[in-house]
């Protein structure tokens, strides 16, 4: 009987940890062009905008969100032949997406397998 109780507790703990870390079912995310434009603006890369591409990886509801619908994502930023992985928060301001440094790094995977 003790084995079954231990197994049950282990299953419940695993399910609870999964529920705690899984993303909400419905996040609104920028598309690749919108994310790229927001990253270019955040990093002040306007003169290089034609060479920059941002690809979103894992996204979650932002921790300490300052804006409605704010999401935190891992982002692969490609500039020319180089690519770097970082995290950023995205939110809508009017019809445009904005990006800002994220406070959710501890909840996002690094490196993110979704970006590989």
Kindly state whether residue 33 falls inside one of the protein's structural domains.
yes
- CA 24, CA 70: separation in Å to the nearest integer? 12
Kindly state whether residue 40 falls inside one of the protein's structural domains.
yes
Kindly state whether residue 105 falls inside one of the protein's structural domains.
yes
Number of domains observed in the structure of the chain: 1
pLDDT of 43-97, one tens digit each? 999 898 899 999 999 999 999 999 999 999 999 999 999 999 999 999 999 999 9
Say how many C-beta atoms besides its own lie within 10 A of residue 90's C-beta: 29
Kindly state whether residue 3 falls inside one of the protein's structural domains.
no
Kindly state whether residue 101 falls inside one of the protein's structural domains.
yes
Confidence class for position 3, pLDDT limits 50, 70, 90: very low
């Amino acid at each position: 009987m003790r084995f079954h109780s231990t197994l049950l507790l282990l299953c419940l703990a695993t399910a609870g940890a999964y529920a705690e870390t899984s993303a909400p079912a419905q996040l609104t995310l920028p598309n690749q062009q919108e994310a790229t434009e927001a990253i270019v603006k955040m990093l002040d890369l306007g003169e290089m905008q034609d060479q920059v591409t941002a690809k979103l990886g894992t996204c979650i509801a932002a921790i300490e969100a300052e804006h409605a619908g704010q999401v935190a994502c891992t982002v692969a930023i490609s500039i020319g032949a180089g690519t770097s992985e970082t995290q950023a928060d995205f939110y809508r301001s009017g019809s445009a997406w904005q990006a800002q440094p994220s406070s959710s790094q501890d909840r996002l995977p690094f490196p993110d397998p979704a970006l590989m």
